[in-house]
Amino acid sequence: MVFASLEFLTLFLPAFLLIYALARPSWRNVILLIGSWLFYGWLSPLFLLLHMLLTVVAWIGGLLVDRSREDGKGRVRLLIALIVFNTAVLCWYKYANIVAGTVSEVITWYGAMPLDWQRVALPAGLSFIVLQAISYLVDVHRHTVPVERSFINYATYISMFGHSIAGPIIRYDWVRRELSQRYFNWANFSLGARRFMIGMGMKVLVADTLSPLVDIAFHLENPSLVDAWIGCLAYSLQLFFDFAGYSAMAIGLGLMLGFHFPENFNRPYLASSIQDFWRRWHLSLSSWLRDYLYIALGGNRGGAWRTYRNLFLTMAIAGLWHGGDSWNYLLWGAAHGVALCVDRAWSRSNLPSISPVLAHILTLLFVCLAWTLFRAPDFHSALTMYAGQFGLHGMGLGDALAVAMRPAHGMAVVLGLVCIIAPIWQVRCEQRFGTRPWFVAAASLWPVAGFVLSFALIASRDAVPFLYFQF
């Protein structure tokens, strides 16, 4: 069950919201927890048991860390053990398949039989749940947050179905007070519903419409220059609107229930440098990597060499975190690590500064080329796409992509651009027109219209999973 499905929109969400609204405020965490566990159980009962296990271990671990002596080594060892446990669970589900596949390929080179391996399925949202658990444990150790003594409150935090499947990565400190007291009222509900509808439109109208085109482009044997760049640019839009759409829906759901989650995107394709891009893209992950990995490695302390090393290692690990079906993710993270190092070195040197327009073009070009590596199913496919992007397979539009392209794809691109630009226009219009009735009505109607059209499309075709469900 995904947000953009009939089961969620017509069964689960209305029933849950009705029960949540009728419940006493003191019971709403229990209702949210049960609803979240039912949501996970709908996806897979086995994964629900794993989710419960991780929740119990992290909650008890937080209590033990809090009770440990401040100056004792046992406190640090306990924290390390808890982090290793969570990381080991994540690594098993993330990387068992690719390690087994790599070992199988190596031994077949020497004439041995390939491994008889049964693929391990990745539980939805495991990556985000593990990062939230680790951040909570580290914050308790650092005394950044008080330990949560209520299992219901902690389990509600870690299990909220609105964001735990694909982010944002919510830290305990951000919702600690609202877990105890929050306002479930019409103002929050209406603002959250509007945000949810906007996210639905981004996902269904733009990302899902571009999905078939991207699939065809990335499976061409010899893509031309036009084929490869259409596929690359379409995927860049698909990934952004799929993930940013999910984040908007998660933020909207949280607001409907009385929680205020932080923004997860800030128009990343308008970035003027790689550093600027990572200040705009997946903000909750970027800040998590900075606070719990980059700084833990030493950050920018210890000289330039260690700073560049830490930047590279942080991004390489971020690449590994994204997936285990291919080593492409590691290469993608390493490429961004190198780009961050080059960006930092250039900005701190006596080399001439780059004009803003050229800086934006170079940043967007690198990001799109890196997305090719991110999307390709394996390294050979990525090389094939890169060969096409540099014109090694011809220049013109190929027959397969020409047949697949529809006016709806162009409309999706236009809608995507409107979604990017509309918030900027809306702010400027609000400054000019204020709260005039006709402007307020127009600003309120376009999310509703997009949601109605999205619902009609969902009803006419199968639900398309969110891309970040696989991470």
Q: What residues are annotated to the active site?
A: 322
HEC states along the chain?
Answer: CCCCCHHHHHHHHHHHHHHHHHCCHHHHHHHHHHHHHHHHHHHCHHHHHHHHHHHHHHHHHHHHHHHCCCCCHHHHHHHHHHHHHHHHHHHHHHHHHHHHHHHHHHHHHCCCCCCCCCCCCCCCCHHHHHHHHHHHHHHHHHCCCCCCCCHHHHHHHHHCCCCCCCCCCCCHHHHHHHHHCCCCCHHHHHHHHHHHHHHHHHHHHHHHHHHHHHHHHCCCCCCCHHHHHHHHHHHHHHHHHHHHHHHHHHHHHHHHHCCCCCCCCCCHHHCCCHHHHHCCCCHHHHHHHHHHHHHHHCCCCCCHHHHHHHHHHHHHHHHHHHCCCCCHHHHHHHHHHHHHHHHHHHHCCCCCCCCHHHHHHHHHHHHHHHHHHHHCCCHHHHHHHHHHHCCECECCCCHHHHHHCCHHHHHHHHHHHHHHHHHHHHHHHHHHHCCCHHHHHHHHHHHHHHHHHHHHHHHHCCCCCCHHHHC
Dist. CA 236–CA 269, nearest whole Å: 9
What crossing angle do the helices spanning 186-201 and 225-257 adopt, rounded to 10°?
170
